Amino acid sequence: MESYRTMEISYEPMSASALLLRFGQRMDATVNAAVHAAAARIRAASHLAIRELVPAYASLLVRWHMPAAGFQAPPRHAWWEAQLRELLRDLDRQAEPSATPRTHRIQVNYGGEVGADLEQVARHANLSVDEVIARHTAPEYQVAMIGFAPGFAYLLGLDEALHTPRREAPRTRVPAGAVAIGGAQTGVYPSELPGGWQLIGHTDTRLFDPADSERPCLLAPGDRVRFVAKEGGA
């Protein structure tokens, strides 16, 4: 497995006030951990006027504040790249973000009307439904990124035996709370959306609340998630 020390970070201008840091091309836990470690280090650098950090699987968007019109010219991308390179040059010494990640337990009703693809996942994996549920609830998943829709968390850590291709024909409506598998990923639909992932269950946990101005998304990049089979489910 690649270490932080051997990881080459590339820097790509995205706008007058943003750089995209690329850590690789793989959907890999080590690469994603480096992304979150870098975000934590940049966030803690009080001398940099950071506006926003947007982590993804293998990249990190860094946006900075622009000076008001009529004031000094904004630093060039080269200046920001030099600052970030210096800040991250020994990233391997910080194996995890400094803050303790939050862990969420999400109760799931496996199967049923919403989890209509559970048996298909079991057939694809050559497992029983009970074995699929056991394997899906066994890992502690890491939130790699938020994307696709507000509150939709892409989770790393799915048992390889459960990797299942997306549906050939996506559904036009997937209900909020649907727990699903898409390829090597698993996640929960935070609201009613179209989607092509395999639906294996449902949770009543609310992942996105637009009325909550402070924290509308329950899950954040770097958080941990444990799925718990609700009694009386499949």
10-residue averages of pLDDT along the chain (234 residues):
64 92 85 89 88 91 74 69 90 57 94 96 97 98 91 94 96 97 96 96 94 87 94 61
Task: Decide if 112 contacts 129 (C-beta within 8 A).
Answer: no
Region 4-93: CATH code: 3.30.1360.40
- pLDDT for the residue 222: 87
Which candidate, 39, 65, 37, places its Cα nearest to that of 51?
Answer: 65
Topology alike, domains 4-93 and 103-229: no
Which candidate, 130, 140, 199, places its Cα nearest to that of 164?
Answer: 199
User: pTM (2 decimals)?
Assistant: 0.79
- pLDDT for the residue 148: 87
Q: What is the residue extent of each domain of the chain?
A: 4-93, 103-229
Which candidate, 40, 78, 42, places its Cα nearest to that of 63?
Answer: 42
- pLDDT for the residue 4: 52
Question: Cα(15)–Cα(35) distance, rounded to whole angstroms?
Answer: 20
Query: How many Cβ atoms from other residues are within 10 Å of residue 78's Cβ?
Result: 10
- pLDDT for the residue 203: 97
Which listed CATH number (3.40.50.300, 2.40.100.10, 3.40.710.10, 2.60.40.2580) goes with 103-229? 2.40.100.10
